[in-house]
Structure 1
Amino acid sequence: MIKIAVLIPEQYKLLSVAAILEVFEAANKFQANNHVEVAFDISLLTLNNRVDGFFKSYKSDRIENKESYELILIPSFTTDDMKGTLALNQAFIPWLIKQYHYGAEIATFCTGAFLLGATGLLDGKAATTHVDACSAFSAAFPSVQLKADKTVTQDGRLFTSGGATSTFHLLLYLLQIHCGKDLAVKTAKIFAIDMDRHNQSYFSSFQPTRHHNDEIVASAQEKIESNYQDVATIEEMIKDIPSSRRNIVRRFKQVIGITPIEYLQQTRIEAAKKLLEQTAQQMTEIIYNSGYNDPKAFRKVFRKTVGMTPSQYRDKFQVR
């Protein structure tokens, strides 16, 4: 029987914990109904031994008890202040490091990746998180090889998933590893999950950071967003900003995490996505209105950024 620890950190997302428990309980139930020993022994791990009433039926433990686990699951957080949330959960960090060195697998769901990132265990390794948290994650953990478009990643004994329903894709992947594909497929059918979704790019929204005090970078952001349909070069974007091109590019990348030209592309693609979702404009109009003159270049950038063609995106998301 595999010993699982589901962390109950401060400011955890209830839905994330519930999804984790539901899937593993369903797998155990399948096995029990088939008169097979259940695969998972589930415990909830807390810092203060307080467990919400929703989870009173589960075993709970504290990290001070020095129990060893084979699989540790970190749920998503519900917070607008990730730095503060990580500070509240600081005590989990050395515990996670020790468990990993004892041989545990660690899996994170959505923004739970931030807690694993804070351990340093992900440095130099592949990871993903919620698409809209990727910029903040990259800024906080630049040594991690962030795969923003991926639904699930595995690097050795470390697993991460993207946002929301990507949780289920990682859970099914873990079931397949530990119990085989047959049980994973049965569980997928119970929860109506498509097992073959590997990309989450098309769920993302470009939400550049505004929480900085760099006036030059803020000015460049404003110029790009106001003139994305017309400007073509960095020089055009920054010609009225009192700073050198080299300095602006350096500061922009440092503060925002991407270059000004990448910011322009992201702004244009986000504009195109909105037009595809909300209007009946012809594709040639959308290309022009989002700042592109070359249809081939537009489609190439769109597919690379979003993970599907503009037509596929419209078919999937257009408000009818």
Structure 2
Amino acid sequence: MKQVGLLLIRNFKLLSVAAILDVFETANKFYTDTNQSTLFNINLIKIDDHGADHFSNYNTQNLISDELYDLLLIPSFSPGAVKDYIVANQDYLPWLNRQHQKGTRIATFCTGAFLLAASGLLNGKVATTHVDACPEFNAAFPDVLLRADKTVTQDGLLYTSGGATSTFHLLLHLLQYYCGKDIAVRAAKIYAIDMNRDNQSYFSTFKPFTDHNDTLVASAQKKIEDSFQYTGTIEEMIKDIPSSRRNIVRRFKLVTGITPIEYLQQTRVEAAKKLLVQTDQQMMEVIVNSGYNDPKAFRKIFRKNVGMTPSEYRDKFNAIQ
């Protein structure tokens, strides 16, 4: 039997915890339906009794337990100030390191990746998180090899997933590892999850990271946002800022997690996405109104950031209106 620990972190998202438990319960039921022993013994691991009343029918253990787990699961945080949530859950960090050193696999879901990154275990490793949380993650953990486009990542014993339904993609990945492909496919059918989706970029919404106190960077951000439609260079857009190009680029990336040119590109792409879905503008109008005059360059940058062509994006999201 595999010992699975689900961290009942402070400020957890209830839906995330419920989804994780439901999938592992379903897997166990596959075994009991064929008169086999259940594969997963699930325990909730807590610092205190926060949220435990929601799951009174599960085994719970305090963090001080020395039990070694085969797999630890970190659910998503609720919306809010993630940096404050990390502080509230810092007691988990040395414990996660000890478990990992003993060979425990650790999987995070959505913004749960922030807690694992805070432990230092993701430094130099590939990871993902909710697409809209990626700028904040990049700024907070520059040593992590963030793959914002990925639905699921695995680097050694560490797993991460993107937002929302990406949770199920990682859960299916784990079921395939522990139970085999047949169980994973059966679970995919029950939850109506397309197993081969590995890209989440087209679900993203660029939300500039502004929760900082660097007035120089804030000024550069505003200049880019106010003038992105003009097909000038980034140097022209921030030319009035009293700083050398090298200094502003360094500070900009340190604060926002991306360079000024990447910020400009993402601002323009976000504008194009809105025009594609919310208006009937012809493609050339969309290109010009989002700040480009070269269709080839626009399509290349759009595909790089979104994971599909502008026409595919329009077709996909117009179809669900």
TM-score (norm 2): 0.96
Tell me the distance in 1 between the aligned counterparts of 2:215 and 2:51.
Answer: 45
Aligned residues: 320
Q: What's 1:267 paired with?
A: 267
Determine if contact 1:49/1:62 at 8 Å carries over to the other structure. Answer: no
Report which stretch shifted further, 28-37 or 193-202: 28-37
Match for residue 168 of structure 1? Answer: 168
The answer as to 2:247 corresponding to 1:247 is yes
The residue that corresponds to 2:120 in the other structure is: 120
After superposition, the Cα gap between the structure-2 partners of 1:314 and 1:149, relative to the gap in structure 1 and judged at 3 Å, is: same
Q: Is the 8 A contact 1:74 1:109 kept in 2?
A: yes
CA RMSD of aligned residues (A): 1.3
* Superposed displacement of residue 51, structure 1: 4.6
Using the TM superposition, name which of 206-215 and 161-170 deviates more.
206-215
Q: Verify: 1:46 aligned to 2:46, yes or no.
A: yes
User: How far does the alpha carbon of each residue in 1:186-245 deviate from its partner, in whole angstroms, 9 at most, with x for none?
Assistant: 011111111111001111111111122222222221111111111421221022223332
Post-superposition Cα deviations, 1:60-107, rounded to whole Å, max 9, x if no partner, equal 111112111100000000142222111111111111111111111000
Question: Counterpart amino acid of 2:91?
Answer: A
8 Å contact from structure 1 (residues 49, 61) kept in 2: no
Q: State how far apart, in whole Å, the 2-side matches of 1:197 and 1:298 are.
A: 25
Rounded to whole Å, the distance in 2 between the matches of 1:3 and 1:267 is: 45
Letter in 1 for 2:144: V
Matched residues in 2 for 1:93 and 1:211: separation? 24
Give the structure 2 partner of residue 76 of structure 1. Answer: 76
**Identical aligned pairs, as a percentage?**
64
- Alpha-carbon separation, structure 2, partners of 1:221 and 1:49: 43
CA distance in 2, matches of 1:115, 1:231: 40
| Aligned residue in 1 for 2:64 | 64
Cα separation, 2, equivalents of 1:50 and 1:87: 15
Contact persistence 1:129–1:163 (CA under 8 A): yes
Task: Give the Cα–Cα distance (whole angstroms) in 2 for the partners of residues 104 and 225 of structure 1.
Answer: 45
In 1: Cα distance, 2:295 partner to 2:177 partner: 43
The CA distance in 1 between the partners of 2:62 and 2:114, in whole Å, is 21
Taking the TM superposition and a 5 Å limit, the aligned residue runs for 1:23-34 are 23-34=23-34
Please give the alpha-carbon distance, in whole angstroms, between the structure 1 residues aligned to 2:99 and 2:244.
49
**Partner AA of 1:134 in structure 2:** C
Match of 2:91 in 1: 91
Q: Which runs of 5+ in 1 are unaligned?
A: none
Partner of 1:211: 211
Which residue number corresponds to residue 182 of structure 1? 182
Contact 1:114 1:137 in 2 (8 A): yes
How far does the alpha carbon of each residue in 1:16-74 deviate from its partner, in whole angstroms, 9 at most, with x for none?
00000000000111111011221111111101145533311111111112111100000
CA distance in 1, matches of 2:83, 2:54: 27
Matched, 1:278 2:287: no
Post-superposition offset of 1:284: 1.1
TM-score, length basis structure 1: 0.97
In structure 2, what residue type is equivalent to 1:212? H
> For 1:31 and 1:228, how far apart are their aligned partners in 2?
56
| Residue correspondence of structure 1 range 284-299 to structure 2 within 5 A | 284-299=284-299
CA–CA distance in structure 2, aligned partners of residues 72 and 60 of structure 1: 14
